[in-house]
Chains A and B, each alone.
Chain A
């Protein structure tokens, strides 16, 4: 059952992931992206980190992709006109894709990584000295985030504040304002 779920979820993730760059319309790409993120959330759940799976669906598929779809709707760019296919960049992208994929597969097949996952029940005994043992519950995440990673959490809060201030500043129409100021100056010089 686990094997079937793994193959199903990874096929879902990879196929819908491939449809993101391939689909012509950005809206379709965003929809496939949501499917891909949900497939990844399923893989997280299969790995036993249920909290991360829930977070993936809530934050990525719920918040980030809604932002994307909103912007696509807002911009409403005309559908990509039938411009001539960019053959050189297609070849370059395909070569880069193949090389990276082959490299990753070779790396993954090395004997020290080609091992079965250890049983979750042994997490307490097998975890490294001083490390937080693996556990899918939200409780252990709380212990980790507000214990060992107290400072990074606060830095993250600051980063979000900085991003918010930056976005507010960027969304002001500075170009239009500078144009208006130029006009005022011209009128004054006349």
Chain B
């Protein structure tokens, strides 16, 4: 298997994640697409780690997964807190910081 095949897969996965973040207005789906982008970077880390026969990339994926778990926990808590106030999760409704 060529190295570039993995790069193409990871790149397309990252682009799909960004596509979702730009397209959707639902906060939960946006968070999920963010996870998709993190996942693509993890794939890239592991592919490069395998390519250079160096385990450091794999260990970085370990840290990336931990950060993703913390991020999702805090992000979902914020979404729930916002939902309690606004009764919606659409980003169009969250305009307190305007003006």
**A90 at interface, CB cutoff 8 A:** yes
The B1-17 residues at the A interface (CB cut-off 8 A) are 1-17
Q: Give B25's nearest chain A residue, CB to CB.
A: A86
Determine whether the beta carbon of A100 is less than 8 Å from that of B20.
no
* With A74-B80, A108-B11, A166-B74 as contacts: A116 and B2 at CB distance below 8 Å: yes
The tally of CB-CB contacts under 8 A between chains A and B is: 252
Instruction: Name the one of B9, B59, B76 contacting A14, with C-beta atoms under 8 angstroms.
Output: B9
Instruction: Name the one of B2, B15, B50, B54 contacting A48, with C-beta atoms under 8 angstroms.
Output: B50
The A123-150 residues at the B interface (CB cut-off 8 A) are 123, 126-128, 131-135, 140-141, 144-145, 148-149
Q: Name A's interface SS.
A: helix
Q: Name B's interface SS.
A: helix
The B57-82 residues at the A interface (CB cut-off 8 A) are 58-59, 61-63, 65-74, 76-81
CB distance from B95 to the nearest CB of A (A): 16
A13 and B28 CA atoms in complex are apart in Å by: 20
The A32-56 residues at the B interface (CB cut-off 8 A) are 33, 36-37, 40, 43-44, 46-49, 51-52, 55-56
CB distance from B78 to the nearest CB of A (A): 6
Chain B contacts of A13 at CB under 8 A? Answer: 9, 13
The A94-121 residues at the B interface (CB cut-off 8 A) are 94, 96-97, 100-101, 103-105, 107-109, 113-118, 120
Chain A contacts of B5 at CB under 8 A? Answer: 6, 10, 108
Chain A contacts of B53 at CB under 8 A? Answer: 118, 120, 122-123, 126-127, 133-134
A63 and B13 CA atoms in complex are apart in Å by: 21
Determine whether the beta carbon of B83 is less than 8 Å from that of A170.
no
**B97 at interface, CB cutoff 8 A:** no
Determine whether the beta carbon of B58 is less than 8 Å from that of A52.
yes
* 12 interchain pairs, CB-CB under 8 A: A44-B43, A63-B69, A64-B35, A67-B73, A77-B26, A127-B53, A133-B53, A134-B54, A144-B58, A145-B62, A148-B59, A156-B67
7 additional contacts (CB under 8 A) given A59-B69, A64-B72: A40-B13, A72-B28, A75-B28, A104-B12, A113-B4, A118-B51, A133-B55
**A-B interface, 5 closest residue pairs, ranked by CB to CB distance from nearest:** A104-B11, A21-B20, A108-B7, A163-B70, A93-B22
